[in-house]
Amino acid sequence: MSKKESITIRVTGKIGQKDISPDLFDISEIKKLINDFENMLFPGSKKGRPHISYRIEEGSVENIFTTTRQEVVGFNALLNDVSTHNSIDLLEHKSALAFESLQKNSDETNLSYEITTSVSEDTTPFIISPKTTWKRTEETWVEAEFYVYGEITDAGGKNSSNIHVDTKEFGVLTIATDKFTLKEKEENILYRTYGVRVKGKQHLQTGEMDTKSLHLIELIDIQKKYDSDYLESLIEKATPRWKGIDADEWLGELRGDYE
């Protein structure tokens, strides 16, 4: 079994006139913190991510997440990189949003977040507080086209129509479309794998795709069908061109097999 390590997010401050404690930490705050933490650690698809356990302890409020050493080492490197550059601009979109979400919550509640990992040699925590400004300085997004591949798991919608495409790289993507496009499809597209051409926004610095901005351009049927008649017709067309040609000699010349 792989070694486990931990990431601790310690919340300090006051709720009203009382120092914060697990008893005063509302479940909505816990849910939000867990969601932000997961997006920090896994900004892309959550599919196949390792198991993460959670516990809450005294010490103001200590939220302790335990997972594989590999993920904790990677997260520790991310914190060091953000600290070194004093910027979250180059983080992936969802990860940067998670930092901004904690910063916004800190500004609104006057609570502080101290993040440490069990693999760090530096005991100084990474701090998000009303005194910090963890916000992106620039968001440069441009219109772009993308190709994604996956199984269509849902299609339709009463007011705003869309399709849901289950991809390996991005998880399930919700792609806006129009009802006419769905109506004109003669075949049933559900639970079939397609290449999907979409337009959306792309970050100039990171190259990241904004998964919330996607609109369908084209569905590309990539189902492979073996057509023996079509193959025979190609062979028949090509055969006269090879008349009088020694295939072995031609292949040898192509390879550069000279005596």
Domain ends where: 128, 161, 182? 128
Note the pLDDT of residue 157: 81
Domain ends where: 104, 128, 152? 128
Distance (Å, rounded) from C-alpha 134 to C-alpha 101? 9
Lowest-pLDDT choice from 147-151, 183-187, 214-218, 234-238: 234-238
- Look up the CATH number of the domain holding residue 208: 2.40.50.140
* Residue 255 maps to a domain: no
* Residue 181 maps to a domain: yes
Note the pLDDT of residue 240: 67
DSSP single-letter state for residue 2: P
Residues 36 and 117 in one domain: yes
Q: Are 198 and 214 in contact (CB under 8 A)?
A: yes
The secondary structure element, H or E, covering residue 85 is: helix 69-85
pLDDT, average across residues 223-234: 62
Residues 120 and 151 in one domain: no
Note the pLDDT of residue 41: 93
Residues 145 and 198 in one domain: yes
Number of domains, the chain = 2
% of the chain surpassing 70 pLDDT: 84
Question: Which domain, by its residues, includes 186?
Answer: 141-221
Q: What is the pLDDT of residues 118-166, one digit of tens each?
A: 999 888 999 999 999 999 886 678 899 999 999 999 988 877 899 999 9
Note the pLDDT of residue 124: 93
Residues 6+ apart with CB under 8 A from 43: 91, 92, 93, 94, 95, 98
